Amino acid sequence: MSAPLDDDPTPNINVQLGSPYIAKSLKNLDDSADEPLPTQEVTALCRCGHSSNKPYCDGTHLQIGFVGEKEADRVPDKVDEYAGAGITIVDNRGVCSHSGICTDNLPGVFRLGVEPWIDPAGASVEAIITLVERCPSGALSYSIDGVRHQDHGGDPTVKVTKNGPYYASGGVELTDDQGSEPQAKDHYALCRCGNSKNKPFCNGAHWDGFEDSGTWEEPKK
């Protein structure tokens, strides 16, 4: 009996030192306005931050000696829990990409400059769930009745954010020769400025002036 044909292989992003992100079978690559960008069966995406054809790799990483290791003084990978009535908010500061979505939209719960920075009594359970499901990095998740909720679902997609990271969602598999695993397998934020201390994940370093002109040409096959 022949094996079933796999028409729709799981998209994968492979991370290796000194290389761009190698995306295989990735059909959905969107720009910051959610317009589709072309992909090929194998698409090399810039992660050194210096390609002249972002988001695609143009080989500049070789000229600048980009390596892409994590740095020892990054924010530690540590999971904290904030228990409230009916919901526990789970947070890993080590993988936050500092999008500001939480502090901008639910400041009564996610409190800038206050300790502890999360107060689960600051909004309804429904509002907290809606917000946590917008966290692009996987830093935030929640538990109800002891069941952890981390996945967002949706179609496997990589979004190229404006002057910021790649947001992978919908279950784009990540493999890394250094062993990094996303906090939430189904969504994570990948550095594309080249300056994160927590590569391959974004840590917000792009706020220090990373710019992408937004002009590109489809790479030759």
**What whole-number distance in Å separates Cα of residue 142 and Cα of residue 145?**
10
Least distance to ligand FES, CB of residue 85, Å: 35
Residues 99-158 that bind ligand FES (CB under 6 A): none
Beta strands at 166-169 and 29-30: parallel, antiparallel or unpaired: unpaired
Query: Residue 15 interacts with ligand FES (CB under 6 A)?
Result: no
51 binds ligand FES (CB under 6 A): no
Give the separation between CA 215 and CA 212, rounded to whole angstroms: 8
- Measured from the CB atom, is 57 or 191 closer to ligand SF4? 191
Does residue 51 belong to the site contacting ligand SF4 (CB under 6 A)?
no
Four-CA torsion 61, 26, 74, 206, nearest 10 degrees = 70
Question: Closer to ligand SF4 at the Cβ: 101 or 129?
Answer: 101
Contact 194, 47 (CB under 8 A): yes
The nearest distance, CB 158 to ligand FES, in angstroms, is: 13
User: For residue 191, which amino acid is it?
Assistant: C
Residue 202 interaction partner, one of ligand FES, ligand SF4, none, beta carbon < 5-8 Å per kind: ligand FES
Where in 167-196 is the site for ligand FES (CB under 6 A)?
A: 191-193, 195-196
Task: Give the list of residues 6+ apart from residue 197 with CB closer than 8 angstroms, or none.
Answer: 70, 71, 73, 74, 75, 203, 205
Q: Which is nearer to ligand SF4, 92 or 157 (CB)?
A: 92
- Helical (H) or strand (E) element with 62: helix 60-64
Q: Name the residues that contact ligand FES, by CB under 6 A.
A: 97, 164-165, 191-193, 195-196, 202-206
- The binding site for ligand SF4 (CB under 6 A) comprises 96-102, 135-137, 139-140
